[in-house]
Structure 1
Amino acid sequence: MDRRTALVPIRYLTLPGHGPEDVVADPGGRVLTGVSDGRILRIHGLDDPPTARVEHIAEIGGRPLGLELLPDGDLLVCDADGALLRVDPEGGTGNVRVLTDSAAGERLRFCSNVVALPDGTVYFTTSSRIHPLEDWMGDIVEHTGTGRLLRLEAGAAQAEVLLDGLQFANGIARSADDSFLIVAETGARRLTRFHLRGPRAGQAEPFVENLPGFPDNLWRGAPDGPVWVALAGPRVPPLDLLHRATPAVRRRAARLALRAPFRPSGTTGVLAVDDDGRITRHLTRRRSGYRMVTSVCETGGRLVLGSLWERGLAVCEAPVTG
């Protein structure tokens, strides 16, 4: 299915910080996000912007990207500077603990997104082993294929590598029954399935390919709900051609891309995907004033969008079920 419907904006909430890259909603309808100066923010009353309150709950000292709320209320945070963190939102701004900063004997870099399973096992992605966050465009253009899916067992100090060679591994989500994970490969415009149980446990396969844009963070609320996929930008056909060129050509193109001014596309989009790999919703808006949507969550009958580019959150209509 690719029946596109309009992504309808309702309101915009300016934040005291830049680049709310990931957004997650807690059971009380509050939205949590991280901004570029390292702060973790919690937004109360998003349904009523004049009375909305932004609470500063933590300072990680790095650049927060992917977030995951745990059943006990703690928050897992991917630090783009190279660590997976655990934050107690109620413990004051200094209550941040490093869970791991290494995998397979080397220091992590560019931690991107994370999920936790009920048994305490944590799975997370790293987008690139070559380019840091500030050079993300270089990795997309060079098509390095150095992204990874990692696992951190409960109580372990070092993560293990489950998948290597991913094209800018990014968002991650659980299936409804926790039998597999869904990983966004931004640079390949696809979602990949990694089996956790059954005869194919430990194996990966394409889940949804040839997406209409570049998938970024993934979010699932209830197990019976869809996996929401943020599209950071629409497909760029010349980039598809460049990815078929030799590594040397792609490296030169990446160097040029990093020196060129960047402005995100005005096309905004999000997808809803079910556990059979079907796209059940494709919401899009052309000439959008809110650009580079890197995350989406659903709360209070609304979709909340985050962006690496913007200084706030966008609230949009959620599609009617059925």
Structure 2
Amino acid sequence: MALIKHRWVLVLVIVIAFVLQIIFFSPISPEILQLPLPSSTVSVPPSNSQLQKVTNLGEGLLIGPVDVAVDEKGTLYTATRDGWIRKLHPKGLLKFTDDGVRVLASHVHGSEIRFADDVIEASDGSIYFSVASTKFELHNWHLDLLEAKPFGQLLKYDPSTEQTSILLDGLYFANGVALSKDEDFLIVCETMRKDEIFIKNLLGGPDNINLAPDGSFWIALLQLVPEETELVHTSRALKRVILNFPKLIELVVGGEKRKAKVINVAADCDMLKRFDDPNGTVITFVTSAVEFEDHLYLGSLNTNFVGNLPLK
């Protein structure tokens, strides 16, 4: 009897410790994430497998090329998740050294910029960039998703004064930033919300956004919340519990690793094109798409290459 009693005491202690961990020592204070229902008034191109036609550039030499840029000569630059800016050109792959890096902004209003995300430069030299989260960083970005609070910002760096200011605060995982062709408006993507001022009812959470030569925009979309796990975001308690089980976290926020989606949206918000890899056969977790000379170059946090999709 004494042995049984001791076992029950041990079980009770474990349960109490687990509850205390969930309630008092959780790194997040979660909110319920409202996921809008699809609208029947929005014209959406049908799903396809166009992204399965991509060719792989720099395969095996890159680690999670999250974003891609192309200069006027067609040279590709990509920022990789291991902290490098890499350059792909006909002679091979080059790596930038510390001698070529200058920090323009590390703080804003006295607070450290913890998770700068995307950036765009205007013709007057002003630099607009997003901060995905002021609480979390890249290595634990999934905690921002689970907490579902607006920790994101849109900042502006003025090169004439070398000062950084906050243009927008309280954004839900501020991600891609783009200027219109005439620079008469700026777009910032909130990955955590599908209901945007620029365009509503997207097919996933918007990541990076890039201006196309014709004035439209290419937007990489992520399915951060798989349909089968949407229930998690209706319960604060369930989020706290899941946080203690890494495999459950992967299940809840791992939808982006199973497929890929990119859309092309006109300046008047019409959805013009849609490219998918619905099963992740060739590419998954596409985070950026940039067009140059009838080719679409794709960045991804889940590949070791930059994708190249011919548009004609």
Note whether the superposition's TM-score is higher than 0.5: yes
1:210 to 201, 211, 218: 201
Q: Which residue of 1 aligns with 2:56?
A: 12
Asked whether the 8 Å contact 1:184–1:190 carries over to 2, the reply is no
**C-alpha displacement at 1:245, in angstroms?**
4.2
Asked whether the 8 Å contact 1:219–1:227 carries over to 2, the reply is yes
- Closer, same or farther in 2 for the Cα pair 1:270/1:120, shift >3 Å? same
- Closer, same or farther in 2 for the Cα pair 1:261/1:33, shift >3 Å? same
Residue 198 of structure 2 aligns to which amino acid in structure 1?
Answer: F
Unaligned runs of 5+ in 2: 1-42
Which structure: larger Rg?
Answer: 2
Asked whether the 8 Å contact 1:141–1:239 carries over to 2, the reply is no
Give the Cα separation in 2 of the matches to 1:216 and 1:184. Answer: 6
Asked whether the 8 Å contact 2:45–2:271 carries over to 1, the reply is no
Residue 206 of structure 2 aligns to which amino acid in structure 1?
Answer: P
Q: Which residue of 1 aligns with 2:87?
A: 42
- Closer, same or farther in 2 for the Cα pair 1:234/1:101, shift >3 Å? closer
Higher deviation after alignment, 279-288 or 153-162: 153-162
Q: Which residue of 2 aligns with 1:173?
A: 178
Q: Secondary structure at the match of 1:207?
A: coil
Give the Cα separation in 2 of the matches to 1:286 and 1:234. Answer: 14
Asked whether the 8 Å contact 1:38–1:59 carries over to 2, the reply is no
Deviations along 1:192-214, whole A, 9 cap, x unmatched? Answer: xxxxxxxxxxxxxx111221112
Structure 1 position 96 matched with structure 2 position 101: yes
**C-alpha displacement at 1:99, in angstroms?**
0.7
Higher relative contact order, structure no. (Cα contacts within 8 Å, ≥ 6 residues apart): 2
User: Mapping of 1:48-59 within 5 angstroms?
Assistant: 53-56=92-95, 58-59=96-97
Asked whether the 8 Å contact 1:220–1:228 carries over to 2, the reply is yes
**Hey, which of these two has a bigger chunk of strand by percent?**
1
TM-score by length of 2: 0.76
**C-alpha displacement at 1:298, in angstroms?**
1.4
**C-alpha displacement at 1:168, in angstroms?**
0.4
- Closer, same or farther in 2 for the Cα pair 1:261/1:250, shift >3 Å? closer
Q: Secondary structure at the match of 2:143?
A: helix
Structure 1 position 156 matched with structure 2 position 166: no
Q: Which residue of 2 aligns with 1:79?
A: none
Q: Which residue of 2 aligns with 1:63?
A: none
Give the Cα separation in 2 of the matches to 1:239 and 1:103. Answer: 36
Give the Cα separation in 2 of the matches to 1:163 and 1:146. Answer: 11
1:132 to 125, 134, 137: 137
Structure 1 position 314 matched with structure 2 position 310: no
Give the Cα separation in 2 of the matches to 1:163 and 1:244. Answer: 27
User: Mapping of 1:205-284 within 5 angstroms?
Assistant: 206-222=197-213, 224-233=214-223, 236-237=226-227, 240-246=230-236, 250-254=239-243, 256=245, 260-261=249-250, 263=254, 264-284=256-276
Q: Which residue of 1 aligns with 2:68?
A: 23
User: Mapping of 1:49-88 within 5 angstroms?
Assistant: 53-56=92-95, 58-59=96-97
- Closer, same or farther in 2 for the Cα pair 1:266/1:242, shift >3 Å? closer
RMSD over aligned CA atoms reads: 2.4
Give the Cα separation in 2 of the matches to 1:12 and 1:166. Answer: 34
Q: Which residue of 1 aligns with 2:278?
A: 286
- Closer, same or farther in 2 for the Cα pair 1:169/1:298, shift >3 Å? same
**C-alpha displacement at 1:300, in angstroms?**
3.1
Higher deviation after alignment, 250-259 or 282-291: 250-259
Asked whether the 8 Å contact 1:142–1:253 carries over to 2, the reply is no
Q: Report the identity percentage.
A: 30
Q: Secondary structure at the match of 2:283?
A: coil
**C-alpha displacement at 1:281, in angstroms?**
1.0
**Hey, which of these two has a bigger chunk of helix by percent?**
2
**What is the number of residues matched between the two proteins?**
263
Deviations along 1:192-239, whole A, 9 cap, x unmatched? Answer: xxxxxxxxxxxxxx11122111211111143x3321001133653356
Asked whether the 8 Å contact 1:190–1:209 carries over to 2, the reply is yes
- Closer, same or farther in 2 for the Cα pair 1:55/1:216, shift >3 Å? same
Give the Cα separation in 2 of the matches to 1:317 and 1:308. Answer: 21
